[in-house]
Amino acid sequence: MKLVIQRVSSASVSVGGAIVSSIKNGLLVLVGISRRDTSSDVQFLAKKLLSLKLFEDSEGSHWKKSVKDLDYELLCISQFTLHARTNKGAKPDFHVSMNGEDSKKLYEEFLDVVSRSYKEERVQGGVFGAMMSVNIVNEGPVTILLDSPSEQESNACKTGFSMSNTTQHNTNKPNE
């Protein structure tokens, strides 16, 4: 599962020219769901999203406050194109993205977990599967990419690097 998180002063999503959701200060979150994703990925990213310190405090110090700390809003939009592969040819390949029916269930679960972990009235969503127009005013600009553990493992398999295959050495003691 991938999240693209943008700090915004406003964001809205429209379908067929009509605004279906909008927020003021907060986070616009694009949610990409892959075939490997599970409820544990949803739980991990929902917790991480709500705890990220992407805002400044009242004294102007950067990276001190989360969306929850400031009682800001979230607009979460499903976007299967986040898993596009473009390494062969010019046409994007979306085979890594989860099928629509299962993806919708995980997207709705993600919205539910975020809402229950925060405040339901502060969490908005898009229209799953619809052609949407998204308008944002990105503040900073600040854009953060987050991957769930299953996505991180998938990326490690592609590169041949795995966190589980690394060892940590204490450089303060000679090797025995």
CB 113 within 8 A of CB 3: no
* Catalytic residue check, 81: yes
Helices (H), 52-169: 100-117, 149-159
Phi, psi torsion values for 98, nearest 5 degrees = -70, 150
Which of 38, 43, 44, 80 is flagged as catalytic? 80
CB 34 within 8 A of CB 98: yes
* Catalytic residue check, 94: no
Instruction: DSSP for 25-51, please give it.
Output: SEEEEEEE-BTT--HHHHHHHHHHHHH
CB 33 within 8 A of CB 106: yes
Which of 81, 143, 152, 161 is flagged as catalytic? 81
Burial 17-29 (b: 16+ CB within 10 A, else e): eeeebebebbbbb
Which of 6, 79, 110, 124 is flagged as catalytic? 79
Query: Which active-site residues does the annotation give?
Result: 79-81
